[in-house]
Structure 1
């Protein structure tokens, strides 16, 4: 009579059974993994406990066909675990985690027995149990092999026809309902505004070639018109309006980021470079245009708008401690070869920042930016936040500026965040009648975020501050007369992981830093879809 193969190999049938079920349980797991989430939930909530006798299982009876196998594994090998309520649940589906835990325990015990050579490794009972297991599950295993073969064929087809092995698509779509309210617009004329329904769509292609690098190409289309066209001030602008509001599709961002070493991260922007995405902006709850603040000023400090849309490089050094250092250079007209433009001769920004985070509770940054803007780039010192005079203190003439900023975030608990920023700018006229003269600007803001308010994932936000204002000017263009205040309230409602609805209200007191102008209100309902 031919001897069973396990007898020829002189190994324990437990090892053979374990090997047999590794191969077949892996196949079964790959199918069951997609079939139900109930077993996974049970796996996560139940804790296994080691037992020393099969009699400890209240739901295992001597009449059960697998009783002897369990008894041997429990009492002879000591590698079977049960549940805290004293059950084994023999009819329950086996998860891959449970199989791995049981297999590891059995292998450890068998190795111990082999090392000590104090036990009979092969018994007739073991052989009979193994034969019965093979016969009992032969039909099921054959079915599983067929199902897995089908899945492998479908997977091969998908891999052969997929878009790319290195690229994934991440999209965002905004539906926005908005209106502006108030008695008059800046300048005294009646404020006339209609309720609008508009959109913005972004498609990001993220590619990685080494696993630690990333190439980003972003396409954008939208028709959200700036509120400044009806209010007469950029202070009422939404944080997600678009420059070309006709839903035409264009590539507005291309960059490549990689690690120069474990401590140095480099990002090269070919177009669409933005400091607030390249470095820490210290306003994590409200910085996003699609899921953050509703206003342009409420997203982050205007110092991060320097050089926006340009090309250049950003380097961040983070050795792993509480201190990190970032440096950047962005040129707004880097692609223009004409005189007064280009990578080094045109409008440009040199930026540096030191970030200090001694704990998860507190995070503070010190920022500096030196900016040169010439007439051809349409001087705009603060990225269309603050007053018109603050953005062009000398008119449309070449201007340099030294910008200083401090930013901080304080999070005493996971549900409560306080943040803010302050900035001071010294601008100098480089041409025109006021050449050599200086103007000073100041701005500040405070933010409050209450998380999980009403429902997990929801955020109530309040932002209050003063947008950029010219406080002193040596030129004949003068100073801002009074002080505007920015008040913003919003409530981010998490409908699902992919849908967020944000009602919000923006109030601008004394628009354009002039108390002769009436208060203006902007109401919005933003719905953001991510996919």
Structure 2
């Protein structure tokens, strides 16, 4: 067999062409590229500018001084039975297997048959054909095996196509198992001294989300998300008494299933992407929040405040439109309008609807001068007929400074930054300032509030894919007030440590501890601790 092989290479250019194609097959297998026939390479050349060549000089790695230069040149001019890689190389010094040689030989036989069919048989000598026939007989077993493998692959592909869920839709899911308990002496109070003992029990709860992402053009996306869970907030008077201890993924629905997100995103141009939310609009999912390791509710920070700046809570779960502009260069722009609240935009009654009810106008400029540094400035103008100013993030005085169900207009300013000094360390931080005014009240009332936070994420700590994180900051605090509003007398501090342990690509375990010092910005309250173990399954 070996002697026959080398004789074929020595005396037959056609066989040498077969060797070339087989070598290409070997390289394709090693590089993870599909093995292409002559006709396939010809088609590929239209988009990749290489394939079947007309001159050996088209190969960047073949020089006139190479020993095989004349043979390659002869094959191109005599048979047109030679092709190259998409990057314009030949790679002639690579080895091949018998299977790959058989595949290349079969491809060259097709070329010979094409020459014969087009009345160019005089280019093929009888000796060439005899050698090819002997080679075909020698490799008949390998060719039969290849045909069997191809037939089996085609059958399996046909079965998958017949039973696939959808040609346009992909299903993904996330399931959270959460074990959590709060510890401390007393339930936190807004003013005065606490009197009620904190008797929180260990809770085991869950949240499940199924997401259907559909694409109709390849660049657009229709998202439909189903949500169910029973993770009850620990902030009530039967819990800790403060929203500062809330988990970043809580929200109980008694495990009833609902559509909590429905949106459609598409490219208006190469640099402009538009997203329309029918329900469940969240700024933190529509723009950069500059806290990449901790932004996700399922795999990020354990606490609500630790995920990102409260400015990205504005808008709630409403309906609206977001436009992201990404021109070439370091700047990125985001503009959004959200009719705040899950059902406000759908309600035609007075004081509700798309423009007459609660709403948020948002804008952000992001500046990324280098891969290591990313800066952002955000602004939000909000109007609320009631509810929490920071959407249950922080203390009660900052969220409802004028009382319950008071119409409020506010301006929110936020500065965020991310710095990555190395591939394994990410530093993040934010600072925010809010001015709010009560609308149509007998006494003019307004407040100023400040908040800030910092985070450190160390990737691959203790193993590949693991992340060690520390988050420290000050939740929203009223620093200046007039009218019915009052200042916060003291300052609360948020400290959180967590460790994301990646067991596999689909299982993430996150133990952590949250500590709130001076809860509700009242130093009469003792520190409150929340221990949590979150297990996240993704599929």
CA deviation map 1:93-142 (0-9, x unaligned): 6599xx99xx99xx9xxxxxxxxxxxx98677755553333112223322
| SS of alignment partner, residue 141 of structure 2 | helix
Which of 255, 261, 276 is 1:253 aligned to? 261
Instruction: Show the counterpart of 1:133.
Output: 135
The offset of 1:172, in angstroms, is 0.7
Deviations 1:168-191 (A, max 9, x none): 011111111111111111132111
Are the aligned partners of 1:235 and 1:386 in contact in 2 as well (CA < 8 Å)?
yes
Separation in structure 2 between the aligned mates of residue 321 and residue 525 of structure 1, nearest angstrom: 41
2:446–2:485 CA contact under 8 A, matched in 1: no
Q: Distance in 1 between matches of 2:183 and 2:375?
A: 37
Matches within 5 A, 1:425-504: 425-434=434-443, 436-504=444-512
CA shift, 1:308, in A, is 1.6
Q: Distance between the aligned counterparts of 1:518 and 1:79, measured in 2?
A: 73
User: In the TM superposition, what is the alpha-carbon distance from 1:326 to its structure 2 partner?
Assistant: 0.8
* Contact kept? 2:18, 2:101, Cα under 8 Å: no
Distance 2:147 2:492 in 1: 71
Do 2:507 and 2:538's aligned partners in 1 also have CA atoms closer than 8 Å?
yes
For the residues of structure 1 that align with 2:33 and 2:348, how far apart are their CA atoms? Answer: 60
Relative to 1, partners in 2 of residues 1:310 and 1:128: Cα closer, same or farther, differing over 3 Å? same
What is the aligned partner in structure 2 of residue 164 from structure 1? 166
Number of matched pairs: 455
Residues 1:217 and 2:218 are matched in the alignment: no
Equivalent-residue separation in structure 1 for 2:510 and 2:372 (angstroms): 26
For 1:186 and 1:209, the matched residues in 2 are separated by 52
Tell me how far apart the structure 1 counterparts of residues 23 and 140 of structure 2 sit (CA, whole Å). Answer: 15
Question: 2:372: which partner in 1?
Answer: 361
* Mapping of residues 504-523 of structure 1, within 5 Å: 504-523=512-531
Contact 2:23 2:92 in 1 (8 A): no
Separation (CA, whole Å) in 2 of partners of 1:184 and 1:137? 83
- The Cα shift of 1:52 comes to 7.3
Matched, 1:322 2:340: no
Q: Which of 414, 424, 430 is equivalent to 2:423?
A: 414
Could you tell me which runs of 5 or more consecutive residues in structure 2 were left unpaired when the two chains were aligned: 1-11, 35-60, 69-81, 83-88, 112-121
Q: Which residue of 1 aligns with 2:18?
A: 17
* Alignment of structure 1 residues 266-285 onto 2, 5 Å: 266-285=274-293
Q: What secondary structure is seen at the aligned counterpart in 2 of 1:17? A: helix
3-state SS of paired residue (2:345):
coil
Native 8 Å contact 2:366 2:377 kept in 1: yes
| Partner Cα distance (1:345, 1:484) in 2 | 36
Q: Distance in 1 between matches of 2:515 and 2:163?
A: 52
1:140 alignment partner, SS class: helix
Task: Give 1:154's aligned residue.
Answer: 156
8 Å contact 1:398–1:429 — kept in the other structure?
yes
Could you tell me the TM-score, scaled by structure 1's length? 0.79
Residues 429-454 of structure 1: CA deviation (Å, up to 9, x unaligned)? 013444x4211111000111111111
Structure 1: tracts of 5 or more residues without a match: 1-10, 34-48, 55-72, 108-119
| More displaced 10-residue stretch of structure 1: 304-313 or 145-154 | 145-154
Post-superposition shift, 1:160? 2.6
Give yes or no for the alignment of 1:180 onto 2:186: no
Per-residue CA deviation, residues 36-85 of structure 1 (Å, 9 max, x unaligned), is xxxxxxxxxxxxx999789xxxxxxxxxxxxxxxxxx9xxxx977557xx
SS in 1 for 2:306: helix
- 1:234 equivalent to 2:243? Answer yes
Query: Does 2:270 align with 1:262?
Result: yes
Question: What is the aligned partner in structure 1 of residue 311 from structure 2?
Answer: 303
Alpha carbons of structure 1 residues 362 and 133: separation in structure 2 relative to 1, 3 Å: same
1:381 counterpart (389, 395, 398): 389
Change (3 A) 1:261 1:24: closer
Separation in structure 1 between the aligned mates of residue 166 and residue 90 of structure 2, nearest angstrom: 45
Measure how far apart 1:20 and its partner are: 8.2
CA RMSD, aligned part only?
3.3
Instruction: Tell me the equivalent position of 1:424.
Output: 433
Displacement of 1:426:
0.4
The change in CA–CA distance for 1:437 and 1:169 in structure 2 (over 3 A counts) is same
1:402 and 2:411 are equivalent in the alignment: yes
* Whole-angstrom distance in 2 between the partners of 1:497 and 1:129: 52
Q: Give, in angstroms, the shift of residue 475 of structure 1.
A: 2.3
| Residue number among 357, 362, 375 corresponding to 1:346 in the alignment | 357
Query: Could you tell me how far apart the structure 2 residues matched to 1:226 and 1:309 are?
Result: 17
* Cα contact 1:356–1:363 (8 A) shared by 2: yes
Q: Which residue of 2 aligns with 1:336?
A: 347
2-structure distance, mates of 1:225, 1:492: 23
- Kindly tell me: are residues 166 and 138 of structure 1, through their superposed partners in 2, closer, same or farther at Cα, counting changes over 3 Å? same
| DSSP-derived class of the 1:481 partner | coil
Say if 1:484 and 1:511, in contact at 8 Å, map to a contact too. yes
Contact 1:399-1:431 within 8 A present in 2 as well: no
Counterpart in 2 of 1:113? none
Instruction: Return the TM-score normalized by structure 2.
Output: 0.78
Measured against aligned partners, the alpha-carbon deviations of 1:455-492 in whole angstroms (never above 9, x if no partner) come to 11111110000000111110223121100000000111
